[in-house]
Structure 1
């Protein structure tokens, strides 16, 4: 059956349309592919350019950089070639990275680098050492980042030379250790000087007093003046030594401040009373006035005593005619101590230097007054250590006024202090003098200086059964074999154990911890007193001391026994 021409014509037209559509689709696909290819090509060119720039950046970087696949070096930049002391990259390529990185700086006992570089994570700032091709060893700091290199897993390693940094660090540590050692040597020197001066001075003063007491009424007047000169010279030497040691201790930072409540007006009045004999000797009037008698100050008592005493002593020393007036008054929350004299005064040119160490207005062979020029410098430091200030006003030939200011803990100007009930003075009864049959109280004197042993024996042997020990071991043997009623303890002893350690041992032993212990030592810094009392001593005496005061302290403890 033949088809009609219309149907055939429709089929032809449909076929042509379909073919046209197919050709169009194919053309669009080809166009898109060509466009994508062009974009890919451009991306590849950009990537290649970026890689080129990156390689150039790595090559010219001032930081040594290495690329390693496994442990083999496959790339090294110019800085890396220089770091390894190589002449070209061929000397480094295909070498093991561990041929250069020889040790783990922070953990030399176990080299962590093979493990760290074998891991897939990043590592930062690991310190080690690199041995160059010329044999030189340097300190390095290493950072490693995982990358892909030639389609293989690799590590991009950045190395930083820290040899100079580590050398500087080591020098700083060594300098710090030297400074600490120097401070320790200074501390030891100051402590030893104090001990070595106070010990013989104690013997000189002690024997001088002993001879004087034995010869009371038998001396010619001029001989009595000789012994007084010995005492004055000893006191002057002791004061000079104390000033030198204190200024040294403050400068090296070993001077400790122990604040406590101080009834300032009352304490200053006591200090004025102690200095009155010195003023009377020069024919000077020494006055004390208080406008706030009940003021409380929270400060170190030793510093306050030394500061006030130094100023009053100077005022008396530099005043030939007239008076010295000490006044305590309050301004708001501040308490002031004013010391005014009618002495020689100071020139305006010297005033700015008055608190300088070793400073004196008159110098040379013709200077009219003795001393080292440490007193006022020390006074200023004592005051400042207690949050205070000191000022001075002076006119040449008219006199000087020093004013010490502190922040008061409590000011009650209108409040009258309750009258202190002073018990009736009852003379101390002498210790029971037991006859030889009953025996005397037995006192153990632990002291390593033979001359001090002889001196103390001459003073105490009449009243006590005195046992002597030069070492802690000997003292312990005596404690175990003898009934001891009291111990006099020096801090420095021969042997491996000192007096502080021995005191602690006695206090921890139930057999002996009831025995009173009195520290008797030439170690006279505040820290020595604190250390002695904290170790278990019941009292503390620094050489040179008054034997009467020591005996009174011994009696008070033996009465309780």
Structure 2
């Protein structure tokens, strides 16, 4: 019967969910259950009779633990409460145990040892430590952060939230609906989206304690448990007041710049008649006098009249280019698409530019695909694009140079390339090549005349056609300008 009772007691101890440990007055193990053996990683026979403190505690804790145990036995007073200690497993892993102990006595009432019940709280301690780190991180975060329950009531706010919204303590905000801290018109949509998608990101108008309004960016999402059920809502705010103010200032500055540029363009466009009329009169009368309509001229008079006519026409071309560019920038320039023959345009350009090329003994080679007959585009602007690029190539090519013009069809687009044998263009100069009034080299050392508007107009006209223009060049190896536009423009 005694053995049966002893076996029942041992079975009861083995099925217990906690560690059961008995030590004698000399700190040796007299009893341990299955839970305790599993924790330590030893069979029961390797535990019983061993010194608990010398065998199963980390060395750093042994002496203090022994002294505490001896004092407990000698005082003969039942321990109150619980205490924590580390034990060392067979794998040399330290585990934290929470102990509840009582004194064991013999028939005469003398203390013979202790009986303890222990709970392994290692994982809980790790989780608590990680939670403290997370809380410390959230508390020190520069951005406002909050945690709400599933009813959207605040259960946590960090100091940055209190400072941003103007509150002094957590008690002022705990339990309140998070939606009460931003503009009422935005509350419903955010909550609906959050419970529908599990997250929400966007801008809101926050309401401070003093009813001040300021823009914030919110990122909110559900925090879920191990099986995926939402347990709370976490949100992070960003005060974007400065960003919005800077954005507003940038928009206002851009509007002012656009207004000023539009005013300039409108002024130049409206001055077309006033600028052209007197200049045409100067050129016209100079040409009439050159024809000796009103009498003979001496050589000096003829030379001066010729200079007046040439300079006037150059100035007129400059005015025309400035006005055209201003009209484009003012948005008043329109395309006039029409069907026309590309070969005819090429013949017209060749007739105008060949004499200029012959003066420098420059050879122009045309390579055109035979199937290219006609396109639908703005005839005048197409002709000016090609004229400006080829004229530029002639201007910058040296004596006895070569200019090659390739015209190809690629799908529904036509691509035209003009390659010259000029000095080439550096990468730094290529970046500003299509800007108005941009010319290569210093002003005082430029050898070629021009206003720097030709390529700027080329870029504007090509883009109006929905096309692109680019340049490929290396210093000392010439340049290749290519523009591509659709074969048919609406």
**TM-score, length of structure 2 as denominator length:** 0.45
> Which structure has more RCO (C-alpha within 8 Å, separation ≥ 6)?
1
Q: Which structure's residues are more often strand, by fraction?
A: 2
Normalised TM-score (structure 1)? 0.40
